[in-house]
Every structure is written in C-alpha cells, then in structure tokens.
Amino acid sequence: GQGSPPLLLFFLSFAMVAIEKGGGGGSHGIPEGQLLGTLALVGLIYFTAAGGAYGSESVINSVGPLPVIIGHAIFPFCWSLPIGLATVELATAYPTDGGVAVWAALAFNEFWGFMGGYFSLVEGVVNLAVFPTVTLDYILVLFDAELDPVSSWFGKAAISCLVVLLNMQGVNFVGRSSYLLSILINIPLIILCILAVIRVKDYSPWMDSRQNDYDTNWTFFLGILVFNLSGYDNVGSVAGQVKKPGVTMPKAMIIAIIVGSVSFLVPLMFGAVVSQTASPQELPSPPPLPL
C-alpha cells in the first residue's frame, strides 16, 4: 500500500541503529589502503552536498542576479561552514559509520537515534529521486530528443541502476570515482566561465534585482539556496571508513565547502550575463591576440 515505503524505511532505520550499537565503530577491519584519503573524501562530500550548478539556472529568474550572487557568496559562511565543522567534530570524536543515527543515539537514547536514521532515509529517498530526472533532462536537451512517459520512466530507472552498481563497488571506489567525476562535470562550467570572461563586455545584469520581468519569488530562491549549500553532514555516514579521520576529515571538509560554494557562485554569476537566446555566432568575438 501507500504506507509500505515509509514502513520499510522505519525498519531499515532500526536495523541500522542496531548494527551500529552491536558492532559498529572504527574502520570495520578495512585494510589501510582501502580507507578514504583526502581527495576521495573531498569527492564524496562534494557529491553528497553540491554536485555542480546544474539545475540551478532558474533561480536567476526568481529574484534576479544580485540576490543570487550575494546569497551564494554569504550563505556558505553562515550555513555550510557551521554544519561542516559540527560534522567534523562529531565524526572525529566518534569515527564510526551511521552519522546522525549514531550521534542522536549517543546524545539522547536509542529511540532518537532510530528516529534520526528514519528521517535521514526518508530525506534521502525524496532527495535522490530528483537526480535521475535532472540527468535525463540534460541528456534529452543535449541530443534534442523527447521521450514518452514510459520510456522516460525506464530511462530514469536505468540511471538509478547504474548508480546502484557503482555504489556496490565499495566506499573507496565511490570516493575515487566522485573525485574524478567532480572534475569532469565542472569542465563545461569552467569553459562557460572562460568564454564569458573573454566575450562578455556588459556585466550590468549583476546589479539587477529581477531578470526578464519575472515575478520575484523569494520562497523559491531561498529553497534553492538552502538545497544547494546543504548536505555536508551526510559524510558522517562513512566516518568509520576514513583514513586518519582527525586529520583527513577537517581538511577534506574545508576543501569540499570551498569548492562546492565556488562551483555554484561562479557559474551562476557568468550565466546571468550570457543571453539566453544568443547563439555562439552572435556572441562578441574575442579580441585579437597581439602579434
């Protein structure tokens, strides 16, 4: 019935807390070479929290470039950084897998640990359901194609299965893959920014409080802002599989927050000054190089 998924998550949360209470902790006997190093952990944190500015384009039209730029420049310091530092403190004090489920159980009791795990699973199911849709939408735009609802469903299911297979390879593989993929997915955004610096001469849209005569939508803007810059606490779920967590975790968290925040701020800044209707041929030519 409709209550089955929450009920299943409810029992999975109970099992997770029970496993952590009974035998969790440490690195679970994982060889030193298979633990997460700094770069792998940076990639893992980046993908659980940021993942690039894809899907955030519409926020420019909600309130205009100026609030978006100011928000993404300031919000990491009053939201992402405190969450990240609190996560580092807890993950290094209790270097065991489980994250908020374990921390809540230790701070209060097993019931709240169980509830923390349950709510985390519910949030994960709802949150992660967005990304296959966004990925498929970008693929369809890239190839200028359309799919009927049934084909679209199978496409999203295929993307989800691919991600599940990757996760089944282990946290070290996921961490290293995330580090490499974080570079690959940002290459188009880096190219966009470089071309904008070369070709765009008018940066006055940065000072606009609204874009394209759209009605201002502060609720949408704040929702996207919080969504873009949240998720750094998720790394607590693999704290027991980090090499030298007291050193690696703080370093990786600071790097991931900086990279994650910049990867939203800079593309959104330059995307706001690029015409949505201009083709590459219509953009101003770059200045000639001196002989």
Query: Residue 61 — pLDDT band, cuts 50, 70, 90?
Result: confident
pLDDT in tens, 90-120: 999 988 888 889 999 999 999 999 998 898 8
- Of 1-15, 170-184, 235-249, 251-265, the one with minimum mean pLDDT is 1-15
| Residues forming beta bridges with residue 242, ordered by sequence position | 36
Query: Residue 34 — pLDDT band, cuts 50, 70, 90?
Result: low
Residue pair 147/140 in contact (Cβ under 8 Å)? The answer is yes
By 3-state DSSP, what share of the chain in percent is helix, strand and coil, each rounded to 5? 70, 0, 25
Residue pair 101/114 in contact (Cβ under 8 Å)? The answer is yes
CA torsion through residues 143, 149, 150, 156, sign: positive
The predicted model scores a pTM of 0.75
Query: Residue 213 — pLDDT band, cuts 50, 70, 90?
Result: low
Selection from 87, 24, 64, 81 nearest residue 217 by Cα: 64
Mean pLDDT of the chain: 79
Residues in the chain, total: 291
Residue pair 66/275 in contact (Cβ under 8 Å)? The answer is no
